[in-house]
Chain A
Amino acid sequence: MLVMDRTEELLRQRIKDLEKENRILHKQLQRSHTDRVQVENNYIRDGYLLQNIIQDLETSKSILEQRGIALELALHDIQAMQSKLIESEKMSALGVLVAGVAHEINNPLGFIYGNLGHVEQYINKIIELVHLYQDQYNPPLLIIQDKIETIELDFLLQDIPKVLQSMGIGVERIIEIVKSLSNFSRLDEAEYKAVDLHEGLESTLMILHNKLNGDPTRPKIEVIRDYGMLPFVECHAGKLNQVFMNILGNAIDAIVEQYNLIPDRPGKISIETKSLGENVYITISDSGGGISEALQSKLFDPFFTTKPVGKGTGLGLSISYQIIVENHRGKLSCHSIIDHGTTFTIVIPISQADALS
């Protein structure tokens, strides 16, 4: 009886446990359906959300790319403006300095040049007097005789005219340099003015004379002029001289660099000018090492330079390009072959009014 009661109790407990499990499972089944629907809905929402977020990101990317391009353009403009400012400040300061120095030198130079004739005249008279003394007091006193020998009077009397002649040549050279400096800076010519471009080229060459002349480490650079008949060209003469200076300066640097590599090769700069139709053409070629094609495309970019740090600003050709193309409505191009040299061609309209029309 007791065993039966115990079994019955165990069965009742088992049934109770099963009923409980059944209730829990039934609840969990209800719940799992709701949860499944919820998960499915979330899955769809997640898909849509991510799809649209990706679309948003693509739109943002495109906007950013456009802004990037605009910023690049703005940066380019700022760089160009900056280079203009730097160079114009520099050139303005250089122009003022050159003009000032030329002006200051001019006056004392005038005294020297003006009095050089008088000095020659006086010296000739003194020499005549010395010869007269020598004729009349012959032989001279011993003390005079000693002095004549000490100072080598005969040599002095022969050399003085040559010294004076040499001084005259030197002064005339200084006068030419000062004239070139004034011509190069052309501070007084802010407006377009019809000028002789050969004069500008010569002034620039005069300023670069020292660099062209060579030194104990390298030979002189030969300048070959093939000047055609040029009409007066309407331009900012000072600015164009700046272009000549930049191109010729680069040409000298390229030749010197090449000489250091191949000393046997002669340094040569050829300048050709010609007038054709409405334009004049100035071609400046050097026998330097040339510029690779890859670098040629960057040549007129602001701050681009192949020179070592501190040797070049990378602004010279960029400024030159602006002066020729923007200020004078002309063209500036470069043609270069590695190991054969570089040629820059400047094309400028003879009349700015015609170019504008």
Chain B
Amino acid sequence: MLKVTIGHSKDPDSESAISEIIEQCLEQCDSDTPDPIAGLLLAAIDFDHQLILDRIHAKFPNIALIGGTTDGEMSSKLQFSQDSLVLTLFYSDDIQIQAGLGRNLSHDPVAGAAEAVRHGKGQNTETPKLCLTVAEGIGYDSNAVVEGLKKVLGKRFPIFGGVSADQLRFQKSFQFFGREVLTDAVTLFFLYGDLQFSCGIAHGWKPIGKVATLTEVASNSVVKIDGKFATDLYDSYLQGLQPSPEYPLAIFEESGEFYLRLPVGSNRETGEIHFLTNLPVETQVQVAFATREDVLRATQDSFQIAFDRYPGRHPDVALLFSCFIRRQLLGTRTQEECQWVNKLSKQELPFVGFYTYGEIGPMEIGGKVRLHQETFITLLLGTS
């Protein structure tokens, strides 16, 4: 059995919001409901996060809790919402959830990831079934923390999650662990037990325009493309406007497949474009473009793939990780993303998710895990 209760409030007042949320969670429990074993907290950047964590701890002192700040929240309670607060509590007799924390990612993301894995596993010698993670998304190569997790857990170990966000300020996001509000950290859950799960990933962007080569990169910036200022590539299409995340770079791999990396700023003087991750030099790139219809079609694909692949009878919960740019591009149609859960699920399925600065997951269970951008990841979890 895996049960979740979800509390979701749009109230910007932290005290009021957390009270409402706890009340909502309790309302969903009956006399047979065991105590919650874990909690996932997703919050907009402007809340008083410490107050919220204290209130949760006061009510549920024994739960393992992780989470982070987001660029939009979604749940089966309120559907899509911005500037809101969502708490998901997990209840189970046969699933075990352990939390781990790694710090100082900007100093050494790989070591931070290893620390989180050690911490999460603790004395447990069993192999976990799944890892759920929320990591810092700003100020370092966020791809490196995913690579760090893979290094310890194995390339094909199922890791899902997203990197925390700060509502497009690109200054600092927060992660939550127990009662701690952190920054520059990675938090994770290891799930043990008889767990069934499946995933689906899709984005909807298509490369357009001329193919170019990344000829010089430095840290999270691309300095030169085809030997010229990196900004020149975007200037030729956007006529001098700042490169924007809606028009990511499609990075081509040797296989001919591509993944997306979104620009978050640029420097006119040096011609550099800034990203949230490092980019590989000497790879071919193309500016990519998507319409709202493309994006929503991909969301549907993501759900459809996950439901088609689910190995059990019925999932108990859907966890959703969507890129912040999808929200930005979809505008008033953002709520259509999470509505696909109800359309495709044969039962009323609780779901919770958030808009991230980077989505983490494999293309399929057993596949290579990667930090994605511009994607929508559906993770279905259950015990039957």
- Bound Cα distance A56, B241 (Å): 18
Query: How many Å from the CB of A79 to the closest CB on chain B?
Result: 34
Q: Determine whether B92 belongs to the interface, using a CB cutoff of 8 Å to chain A.
A: no
B205 within 8 A of A: no
Given A23-B12, A24-B12, A56-B209, A48-B244 contact (CB < 8 Å):
no
Cβ–Cβ < 8 Å partners of B241 in chain A:
41, 44-45, 48
Q: Are B238 and A23 in contact (CB under 8 A)?
A: no
Provide the residues of chain B in CB contact with A24, threshold 8 Å: 10-12
Known: A39-B331, A42-B244, A45-B246. A52 touches B11 (CB 8 A): no
Q: Is B247 touching A27 in the complex (CB atoms < 8 A)?
A: no
- How near does chain B come to A123, taking the closest CB pair, in angstroms? 92
Chain B 239-252, CB-CB to A under 8 Å as 1, else 0, gives 10100101100000
B-chain residues with CB within 8 Å of residue A48 when the two chains form the complex:
237-239, 241
0/1 per residue, A1-33, Cβ < 8 Å to B?
A: 000000000000000000010011011100100
A53 touches B237 (CB 8 A): yes
Within 8 A of A (CB), among B310-338: 328-329, 331
* A42 and B329 contact, CB distance less than 8 A: yes
B83 contacts A49, CB within 8 Å?
A: no
Q: In this assembly, does A35 line the interface, its C-beta being within 8 Å of a C-beta of chain B?
A: yes
- What CA separation (Å) do A194 and B210 show in the bound complex? 62
Q: Quick check: is B267 within 8 A (CB to CB) of the other chain?
A: no
Please name all residues of chain A whose beta carbon is closer than 8 Å to the beta carbon of B210 when the two chains form the complex: 56
Please give, as numbers and ranges, the residues of chain A lying within 8 Å of B208 by CB-CB distance.
53
A13 and B328 alpha carbons, distance in the complex (Å):
36
Residues in A neighbouring B289, C-beta threshold 8 A: 49, 53
Residues of B within 8 A of A23 (CB): 11-13, 16
Structural contact, B237 and A20, CB atoms closer than 8 A: no
Can you list 21 contacts pairing A with B, beta carbon distance less than 8 Å?
A20-B13, A24-B10, A24-B11, A24-B12, A26-B12, A27-B10, A27-B83, A28-B83, A31-B83, A41-B241, A42-B329, A45-B238, A45-B241, A45-B244, A49-B237, A49-B247, A52-B209, A52-B236, A52-B238, A53-B209, A56-B210
Report the 9 A-B pairs with minimum CB-CB distance, sorted nearest first. A27-B12, A52-B237, A48-B239, A23-B12, A27-B83, A49-B237, A48-B238, A24-B10, A20-B11
A→B interface (CB under 8 Å) = 20, 23-24, 26-28, 31, 35, 38-39, 41-42, 44-45, 48-49, 52-53, 56
Residues of chain B having any CB pair with chain A under 8 Å: 10-13, 16, 82-83, 208-210, 236-239, 241, 244, 246-247, 287, 289, 328-329, 331
